[in-house]
Structure 1
Amino acid sequence: MTTSLPAAVLWDMDGTLVDTEPYWMSAEKVLVSSYGGTWTDADGLTLVGKGLWDSAQILQDRGVDLSADEIVSTLTSKVIEQLESDGVPFQPGARELLAELKEAGVPTALVTMSIRPMAEKVASLIPFDAFDLVVSGEEVENAKPHPEPYLKAARLLGVDILDCVAIEDSEPGIASAVASGAATIGVPHAVPVAPRPDFTSRDTLAGATLAELSGILEAHRAARTTTTSR
């Protein structure tokens, strides 16, 4: 039996494509401490996968006397500065899989709750044109775990979300992708995510192939057909 290719592969960014969570945590610590507060790594982990404006409200509650927009701008600028000074820590296997998708002509989208300048900065440091479009945090009404970001990406690509594969690392992101109807691969990184039958778990993207993604999509379709026919 021939397994069809995904209509598109939709990628989360922070923690999935790149290991930028330490950069965000560092920026958060500097910002909170500048207002006399304390921010720990454990605090930072509670923000993994959240939308930036949701995170900004939490930082306001911890004493940061700035508007949500100012917090988002300040954190993003700090992370971009660190990307420029220290480089982009790509996750194992991510660029290799993106290159295979590109060669096969499979459309891709970067679906991130970071803002567009951050997403475009990361994408620009990949040595080929890896993404057909970007859906960023300021461009949706509802952040992950709501399915809107993934549904919007599929709509803009002109494909059916049910024919797409999404790759995520966090609980909010996985929830968003699963709720959208995409076949979802969870690659937990900064925060553990317990395996569940509604997504495929992977320890890393190292060794991941387009053939594997196509098989996951085929199994996803079969599971949906079985559920619908009951």
Structure 2
Amino acid sequence: MTEPTEPARQTPRRLAPPAAPAAVLWDMDGTLVDTEPYWMATESAIAEAYGGTWTHEDAMSLVGNDLLVSGRYMKAKLGLPQSPEEVVEMLLDGVVEQVRHAVPWCPGARELLLQLREAEVPCGLVTMSYERFVAPILEHLPPETFRVIVTGDQVTTGKPHPEAYLTAAAALGVDAAHCVAIEDSPTGAQSAEAAGCRVLVVPNHVPVPPGPARSFRESLVGTTLAELSLLV
């Protein structure tokens, strides 16, 4: 009599890890570095110098904006004699001076950035700040941490328009739809989403509404490449 044979045991199938994003595109102010208080302090100082009133609501309305939009707003609100472009230069003078004293990294941001660099995942910086403000911050990072840098003075139309994110993706030679953007503001999230990116939103000074391509995290502390890979 033939002994019954046990069914062959099947080796559990191992799922392949998700592919890494083609690139990770970073906002700067409020996402990589918490410089929003620097901008707000400078705005208030300008208002005080010209005898105007600057409220918390005014400051919040400028978070994430194209700097020329902010310059126009401040000129109109405070009745400044300078042109919007000159107001922007006044703002930059104030924040550059502050950032040279200390770079206020957002929790977990620098660690994630260096983790991506180690994993050779291309990173781009997509900010509405101007190059002269970005430069002193980049001095605190290893060379070529960002393979592409798109600043507000390099684009025709700033956030929430998608131009800045599309420009960064094109310069990296990748499809924006295969990228993860990290943002903190409604304006920035709208820009990245319109470009086709998946967006990891880490709200900072202003709330960000949900969106079809948006995922949310309270902080970048402990965020991993594997987690970003799941977004795409």
Q: TM (normalized to structure 1)?
A: 0.91
Q: Any gaps of 5 or more consecutive residues in structure 2?
A: 1-14
**Equivalenced residues, count:** 216
What amino acid is aligned across from residue 94 of structure 1 in structure 2?
A
In 2, the alpha carbon distance for the partners of 1:27 and 1:102 equals 33
Spell out the pairing of 1:88-127 with structure 2 (5 A cutoff): 88-127=103-142
Distance, in Å, in 1 between the alignment partners of 2:84 and 2:140 is 28
User: CA contact under 8 A between 2:100 and 2:136: conserved in structure 1?
Assistant: no
Instruction: Decide which of 121, 131, 150 is 2:165's aligned counterpart.
Output: 150
| AA aligned opposite 2:166 | L
Give SS of 1:192's match. Answer: coil
* Displacement after TM superposition at 1:103 (Å): 0.5
User: Is 1:216 matched up with 2:231?
Assistant: yes
- Tell me by how many angstroms 1:148 deviates: 0.5
Correspondence list, 1:1-230, <5 A = 1-2=15-16, 3-62=18-77, 63-85=79-101, 87-127=102-142, 129-217=144-232
Following superposition, the deviation at residue 123 of structure 1 comes to 1.6
Q: CA deviation at 1:128?
A: 5.3
Aligned equivalents of 1:149 and 1:33: distance in 2? 33
Aligned to 1:220: none
**How far does residue 42 in structure 1 lie from its aligned partner after superposition?**
2.4
Once the two structures are TM-superposed, the CA of residue 177 in structure 1 deviates from its matched residue by 0.5
Deviation string 1:124-145 (CA, Å, 9 cap, x unpaired) is: 1225542112100011111101
* 1-structure distance, mates of 2:154, 2:143: 24
Stretches of structure 1 lacking an aligned partner (at least 5 in a row): 218-230
CA distance in 2, matches of 1:164, 1:197: 15
**Offset of residue 73 of structure 1:** 1.2
Q: For the aligned residues, what is the CA RMSD?
A: 1.2
**Which one-letter code corresponds to 2:121 in the other structure?**
V
Q: Distance in 2 between matches of 1:95 and 1:5?
A: 19
TM-score (norm 2): 0.90
SS of residue matched to 2:28: coil
Q: 191-200 or 129-138, which moves further after superposition?
A: 191-200
Q: Distance in 2 between the 1:99 and 1:128 partners?
A: 11
- Aligned equivalents of 1:22, 1:116: Cα separation in 2: 19
Distance 2:19 2:74 in 1: 45
8 Å CA contact 1:25–1:44 kept in 2: the answer is yes
State the alpha-carbon separation in 2 of the partners of residues 110 and 198 from structure 1: 20
Identity %: 49
Q: Decide which structure has greater helix share.
A: 1
Deviations 1:131-179 (CA, angstroms, capped at 9, x unpaired): 1121000111111011110000001111111111100000000000011
Partner of 2:194: helix, strand, or coil? helix
Deviation at 1:116, TM superposition (A): 0.8
1:227 corresponding residue in structure 2: none
Misfit runs of 4+, over 6 Å: none
